[in-house]
Amino acid sequence: MAQSPTPAAGRGYLAIPGPSVMPEAVLNAMHRAAPNIYAGELPDMMPGLVADLRRVARTDGHVAIYIANGHGVWEAALANVVAPGDKVLVLATGFFGHGWAGMATALGAEVEVMDFGKAARVDPGRLAERLKADASHEIKAVLAVHVDTSSSIRNDMTAVRSAMDGAGHPALLMADCIASLGCDVFEMDVWGVDVMVTGCQKGLMVPPGMGFVFFNDKAAEVRAAMKRVSRYWDWTPRANPQGFSEYWNGTAPTHHVYGLRAALDLIHAEGMEAVWARHATLARAVWAACDVWAQGGPLRLNVPDPDWRSHAVTSLHLKAPQATALRAWTERELGLTLGIGLGMVEAQDPAWHGFFRLGHMGHINGHMILGLLGGIEAGMRALDIPHDSGGLSAAAEIIAGR
């Protein structure tokens, strides 16, 4: 096989859990001369764009758009409803829960983290107990990551909502759907999520650089009662713009807007239910292959219960340093880039070299997933990592609809 860092022949495949594969339609839409930002197509595009974003989030609520990555919208959402000294409860099921908690701490909030580990869901019973103990309703917001991209745990947001309602607690429910939106089923209004943040570079298939904060009227009331909100992060003008520049608080990310338009066209042409079903099938194909491989060697899915797994990302264990060796092999020999493990002091902890992750979010189909799994199997053979054969056949069975 080729010895160059990325094989010269054939297409590379970035199978990391974000940024994700960009569709040609998105890239082509962005390949254009600088558009006018004061009149014409670009400003005219906005009402439709906002409506189509809402359809992805399944909400009739408000949306504010930011030139920001996921960390930016973490801060944006908090800046609108959490003042220094306010108390927030963070439900952590991986690295990103702790990350959002760190953001809240840095903004001066009083942060309490309930840690459910790296391979289990939020326990609604524990949450309900904690909220009942907060009789004076000091907790202003409950922060939960829908899919934690480090652990690949998918939380049951309806169970979180029920625990809050059951405890009669008025806190806002804030969800991080940066990894899950457009991949795993999410129903903002039906599930009673008050604030939701996401980025454009995962399920939405646009290069990194845009983020979104969705919020309902209850959250808007909390925002209205704030003494002061950072002007740039304030969601009020962005969600109720008087002109095009108010969407952005300045110059628009012109080409991202075109890219997002193309991505939303793809998503809605396919249909949300079909998008979710495609991700579910392809995720089950990944798990089926892993289950077979696991029978004859060290490979393990991080999340034992399939009902708790995301359809967007899969976190896996090998024996250190096999995961690092496998990632290096598939990238060098196949042009296939697998995701690194997250949530440890990278590289300084030798165990880190035993973790890796697969992104299967957004612009993916059966042949890509079979190629991804075939590449992993070839890598395990090349590196003498023991595994049962038949993983690919198991995945093919799922994709065949058996």
Ligand X SMILES: *Cc1c(COP(=O)(O)O)cnc(C)c1O
Give me the DSSP letters along 363-389: S--HHHHHHHHHHHHHHHHHTT----S
CB of 178 to ligand X, least distance (A): 4
Residue nearest to ligand X (CB): 70
Residue that is written with structure tokens 């697998």 in the block = 338
**Hey, which residues between 151 and 190 contact ligand X (CB under 6 A)?**
176, 178-179
CB of 138 to ligand X, least distance (A): 26
CA atoms of 247 and 69, how far apart (whole Å): 16
CB of 40 to ligand X, least distance (A): 30
Contact 178, 70 (CB under 8 A): yes
**350: number of Cβ within 10 Å:** 11
Query: Closer CB to ligand X, residue 19 or residue 375?
Result: 19
Displacement of CA 260 from its chain's centroid (Å): 16
Number of residues that bind ligand X (CB under 6 A): 13
Task: Convert residues 18-57 into a mask of x (bound to ligand X by CB under 6 A) and - (unbound).
Answer: x---------------------------------------
Query: Closer CB to ligand X, residue 96 or residue 293?
Result: 96
Pick the piece of the chain touching ligand X (CB under 6 A) from 3-11, 64-72, 127-135, 373-381.
64-72
Structure tokens at 17: 């859990």
CB of 231 to ligand X, least distance (A): 21
Query: Closer CB to ligand X, residue 176 or residue 377?
Result: 176
Amino acid identity at 387: H
CB of 349 to ligand X, least distance (A): 21
CB of 98 to ligand X, least distance (A): 11
Query: Closer CB to ligand X, residue 75 or residue 377?
Result: 75
Does residue number 149 form part of the binding site for ligand X (CB under 6 A)?
yes
**Hey, which residues between 322 and 381 contact ligand X (CB under 6 A)?**
none
Give me the DSSP letters along 289-311: HHHHHHHTSS-EES-S-GGGB-S
**Hey, which residues between 107 and 146 contact ligand X (CB under 6 A)?**
145
Amino acid identity at 78: L
Q: Report CA dihedral (125, 130, 132, 137) to the nearest 10 degrees.
A: -140
Query: Closer CB to ligand X, residue 166 or residue 208?
Result: 208
**Hey, which residues between 67 and 86 contact ligand X (CB under 6 A)?**
69-71
**367: number of Cβ within 10 Å:** 9
**Helix, strand or coil, per DSSP, at residue 149:** coil
Structure tokens at 181: 């939106």
CA atoms of 348 and 344, how far apart (whole Å): 9
Q: Site residues (CB under 6 A) for ligand X?
A: 18, 69-71, 96, 145, 148-149, 176, 178-179, 199, 208
